Chains A and B, each alone.
Chain A
Amino acid sequence: MSELFRRDPRAQWIARNRLHPMHQALVIGPVFGPSGLLRKNLHIIGFIGPNGLKRIDRSGASNDSEQGSRRSATASEVILPLHQVIEPAFYVVVVLDLVSGRLNGHDKDTLGLAQQLANRNCGNDNGGGAVVAIAFGELKDDSLDKAGVDRLIHINDEQYAHYNPEQRCNDLQGIIAELDPQHILLPDSINGGGDLGRRLAAAMKQRPACGVWKLNDDSVVCRGSAGKSDITRPLSKLMLVMEECSEPVSETRHENIEIPQKSSRLVDGKLLDQGNISVDPNAIPLAEAGFILSGGNGINDWAQFHHTASVLGATEGASRVAVDDGNMPRERQVGATGTWVTAQVYIAVGISGAIQHMQGIGQCDKVVAINTDEGCDMVKRADISAIGDSTEILARLVELVEQRKLAKQTINEGTSNE
């Protein structure tokens, strides 16, 4: 059937006339206004709140979930316009971190900034530069086009699976000599970009702009003094950029054409990667830990607590009371009087939340409270609060996690068998 919108003046008339006997029946479905726009009947949605006032929940939490998912499903099918650079006026090189072969947020932001640099001071199709992404090692990500990669140089070889910054630095110098890019961007990260960028700068005798977090017209703003000051300085050829230096590319698709690369000269490195060593989560200093399971006075079964931590792979923390009672060592104490933590997820088991403790977890991203007392301060602060016996909840959590691990393993084995 045609999707053309047809007006039904009678139906519209009935919909407008609330006294019409057929009104109720007609307005249940979607109602279109005279211009064809969808109209919501505010009289039939919502509910009567506790004060007797009508409340309409627009959050989508209550009734629109189905609609929302449908909408997002259609949105993902949207094909973004393709941004083409046929004759690049210049190049902007981005060296990707590619942690475990995938783009991370920092990579995407760097590409976003690179696209800004490639397309400033020019119209849509002429004079623009091309963003060349350089990927070392395995590349598992297939969204490079959506992240803003116009050209790709992919150097893959057995040795790039390891940390070999000297070789990479040498390869980059070769590429740069060939492309003569206007700018070279690297994420100023601990995942390799920061190190590689500085090596490259030293080798090229280029003064890099480090810690760039903002691009103005002809200048960049860098964090100096270990984050305490902002230095505004001219754009430089080599820039090490911070996370969120720019919005990632989201509106366009890019060509992602791979430029074949001549095999590069092998460097006799002075560094040799011996591989990562396995680190016991409990050997990680609390301040550095990303995932902390913290126990307090409400824990009865400490053996279970330690077991849960090891199953979850979490670093153990403790409240002051747990430390005072000798259940945990002093260096595990979280709080203003212990260690200030910065975990991504902090699970507080049986900790009611003394002020000093709450101060110490102020910088944690997500806080989970497991507690019997719903009124305690920790529950007020937590993103998720599980009210109940901690022993039971932890036991169930361990079960769930182990099930999940098992399920994952079977999937992995299945794929590897294929």
Chain B
Amino acid sequence: MSSSEFLSQFLFTLISFAILLTLVGAVKRMLLWSQGQSSTIHWLGLLQIPRRYLVDLHHVVARDKYMSNTHVATAGGFVLSSILIILLYVFQLKLQILTWALLGSSLLMFVGSIFVMIRRRNPPPNLSLGKWQRLPKSLMVFSLSFFILTLPATGILPSDTGGWLLAVLLVAGIIWGIGEMFFGMTWGGPMKHAFAGALHLGLHRRQERFGNGQSTGLKAIDLSAKKLGVEKPIDFKWNQLLSFDACVECGRCENNCPAFAAGQPLNPKKLIQDMVIGMAGGDDAKFAGSPYPGIKVGTHKGGAIIPIVNVLVESDTLWSCTTCRACVDACPMMIEHVDAIVDMRRFETMEKGQTPGKGSEILENLSATDNPNGFDPSSRMNWAADQNLTVFGHDEKKQEVTEADVLLWIGDAAFDMRNQRTLRAIIKLLRAADVNFAVLGDAEFDSGDLARRLGDEATFQRLATSNISTMNKYQFKTIVTADPHAFHCIKNEYVEFGGNYNVMHHTGFFADLVTENKLLLDNSKELALTYHDPCYLGRYNGEYDAPRFLLESMGVKIKEMDRSKSTARCCGGGGGAPVTDIPGKQRIPDMRMADVVETKAEIVAVACPQCNLMLEGVVEPRPEVKDIAELMLDALIEGGIENTGEGVVVNMVGAQL
């Protein structure tokens, strides 16, 4: 028997056996996932895997061009090679074209693996080491082995080249390669991401995210369930468990996480890896990436039926999250970190009653007064005593109305003296544009955003349903609000409770008014200004343009920060982070203000009351913080516009200056 005959025989056995083992591993892994709670299975999604992989996933990966090209070469080469290997060596289809194809695909993969190797030479801190350092070598060995193996079959080299020596080397290489690439895929090797990732793309819990869609609202839970929230890994939905396995430990989440940067004990990557440990059992000693700041690796362990918090993950880790969604947005595997964190917070708050910091006080206030700071609910409109606002209602004596074009949602800024200034500006602008609007007055409750993100789903649902039933009493076309948190809640999270509204953030609404020439802005001012994207407006709702359009309408050339739009850094005010107040090495708003200072801007425009408070809380001297509405009011040309028959005639009283 020649060495090539032996190889062919041997490979049949080896690959068949490896595939068998891989299948066994796959079933075992699936059994791990199936420990989770039931959730809708989107079978059709499985058909979409290639498309989602090539479009949606690569859309994220391509933010790093080097990596995206490398991945195309490596992954494409591998997938193609695998198929060909199976055809050639298992089904023994000895077609010359397949052999040539295999030669090409393994070469492609080999080239990719060289780039992987180069990147892994001096790996940036966000990359995990350990088994991930082995991967480029395995890729190389796999591709090289099959490349050499295929050379004789194509006739480039005579068969039996190298004799037994090469055959033995190839056998060794193939065993390593197949072991890593096939066997490792379902038995916990680095290639697990390919197997779990592919299934995760197909069976994702938020199918709407694919094809440029958006799905950012938290999912409601049944409050009459036996257990509220997630205590143990098996309390996650099965597809969440699957998603954890998809993590490729690229650390892009870590790079974008404001809490991690501030030295708070959170690293989204480690959190997801801890969830994997929890699901499969074991400890975190083998984790080879950045730890949670301030917490040593190797001190925690977990299991599928062992409570997570304070055993596997410290509670401070969960409460450091600002729910800014930067990790989710950066994740090429489309893992939903925020969902997992909020699920665990729900158990902490609703079952254990252990919301840290001022959390419990805030939640108690919300249930007693419908606002987080416990102000008298009947004083909600005190700030507007001089504004003569039209209020929705049925009392005709008070000139209440049941119908208006716009419902102006005030939000909790009503109780905050700083943000009342923004509200006043908005009202002046609405009046300048002659918008027919009304407010809910004292009948408006907190939107529930804070309660929900602190894990108190019960309070959120109460607030949401009350607000919906209040709003359903009246007719209006649009809800306008200055608070992106309320905006997100009403737009995306009230839907599950029967509230379907056309909601606009004030920047979007004003942008339309400016386009329609209903508001005229003076564009002669030269301001050194930068714009800070609120997470709940930008990443949560994709609104990056309207605020910029408004600023540009005022003649401002925005000095963009490095981290802007979808990579904008959070101000630190979301998700109840200021309430739970987990200590770190520095404060998130200070870091964000440093970003602002770097642009040499004198003013930072914001579009969110929470950002306003957080950034204004930075010690002076610092750039001025102003809401876009305030800036617009400064630039508003009063007298506005008269519509004549011939078109728009501008009253140029102010504009000539």
Contacts and interface: CB of A to CB of B under 8 A. Distances in A.
A225 to B, nearest CB: 15
Interface in A325-340: 330, 336-337
A336 B587 contact: no
Contact of B619 (A321, A336, A355): A321
A336 B617 contact: no
B373 A324 contact: no
A355 B581 contact: no
Contacts of B417: 355, 359
A243 to B, nearest CB: 24
Interface in B446-468: none
Nearest to A320: B617
B365 to A, nearest CB: 12
Specify which of B418, B581, B587, B619 lies most central, judged by the most chain A CB atoms within 10 Å of its CB. Answer: B619
Interface string A346-369: 000000001100010000000000
Interface residues of B, number: 11
A297 interface: yes
B373 A297 contact: no
A297 B619 contact: yes
Contacts of B581: 330
Interface in A263-311: 297
A348 to B, nearest CB: 16
Contacts of A330: 357, 581
B578 interface: yes
A180 B581 CA distance: 61
Interface residues of A, number: 10
B373 A336 contact: yes
Nearest to A355: B417
Contacts of A359: 417
A337 B373 CA distance: 9
A324 B578 CA distance: 11
Interface in B558-591: 578, 581, 587
A320 B587 CA distance: 12
A337 B361 CA distance: 12
A324 B616 CA distance: 14
A320 B572 CA distance: 15
A332 to B, nearest CB: 13
Specify which of A297, A321, A324, A336 lies most central, judged by the most chain B CB atoms within 10 Å of its CB. Answer: A324
Contacts of B373: 336
B578 A337 contact: yes
Nearest to B415: A336
Interface string B609-631: 00000001101000000000000
A324 B587 CA distance: 7
Contacts of A320: 617
Contacts of B418: 355
A293 B617 CA distance: 22
Interface string B158-201: 00000000000000000000000000000000000000000000
Contacts of B578: 337
A35 to B, nearest CB: 52
Interface string B350-375: 00000001000000000000000100
A355 B617 CA distance: 10
B366 to A, nearest CB: 16
A354 to B, nearest CB: 7
B383 to A, nearest CB: 13
A330 B581 CA distance: 9
A94 B430 CA distance: 64
A97 B578 CA distance: 45
A372 to B, nearest CB: 13
A61 B417 CA distance: 37
A189 to B, nearest CB: 27
Contacts of A324: 587, 617
Nearest to A358: B417
Interface string B332-366: 00000000000000000000000001000000000
A320 B613 CA distance: 12
A336 B613 CA distance: 12
A354 B416 CA distance: 12
A354 B616 CA distance: 9
A90 B83 CA distance: 111
A336 B372 CA distance: 11
Interface string B369-389: 000010000000000000000
Contact of A354 (B357, B587, B617): B617
A214 B357 CA distance: 42
A359 B373 CA distance: 12
Contacts of B616: 354
B300 to A, nearest CB: 26
A391 B578 CA distance: 31
B183 to A, nearest CB: 51
B440 to A, nearest CB: 24
A321 to B, nearest CB: 5
Nearest to A352: B620
Nearest to B581: A330
Contacts of A321: 617, 619
A229 to B, nearest CB: 15
A15 to B, nearest CB: 54
A336 B616 CA distance: 15
B264 to A, nearest CB: 13
B121 to A, nearest CB: 39
A359 B616 CA distance: 16
B624 to A, nearest CB: 15
A358 to B, nearest CB: 9
A370 B418 CA distance: 24
Contacts of B416: 355
B115 to A, nearest CB: 44
A64 B357 CA distance: 56
A152 B418 CA distance: 58
A299 to B, nearest CB: 13
A223 B616 CA distance: 42
A417 to B, nearest CB: 54
Contacts of A337: 578
Nearest to B373: A336
Nearest to B374: A340
A297 B619 CA distance: 8
Interface in B13-64: none
Contacts of B587: 324
Contacts of B617: 320-321, 324, 354
Nearest to B579: A337
Contacts of A354: 616-617
Nearest to B357: A330
A111 B26 CA distance: 88
Contacts of B619: 297, 321
A403 B416 CA distance: 45
Nearest to A337: B578
A130 to B, nearest CB: 46
A324 B619 CA distance: 10
Nearest to A339: B358
A82 to B, nearest CB: 50
A235 to B, nearest CB: 33
A297 B578 CA distance: 19
B88 to A, nearest CB: 65
Interface in B617-650: 617, 619
Nearest to B589: A324
A336 B362 CA distance: 12
Interface of B: 357, 373, 416-418, 578, 581, 587, 616-617, 619
16 contacts: A297-B619, A320-B617, A321-B617, A321-B619, A324-B587, A324-B617, A330-B357, A330-B581, A336-B373, A337-B578, A354-B616, A354-B617, A355-B416, A355-B417, A355-B418, A359-B417
Q: Which 9 A-B pairs have the closest CB atoms?
A: A355-B417, A321-B619, A324-B587, A355-B418, A297-B619, A330-B581, A320-B617, A336-B373, A359-B417
Interface of A: 297, 320-321, 324, 330, 336-337, 354-355, 359
Given A330-B357, A337-B578, 11 more contacts: A297-B619, A320-B617, A321-B617, A324-B587, A330-B581, A336-B373, A354-B616, A354-B617, A355-B416, A355-B417, A359-B417
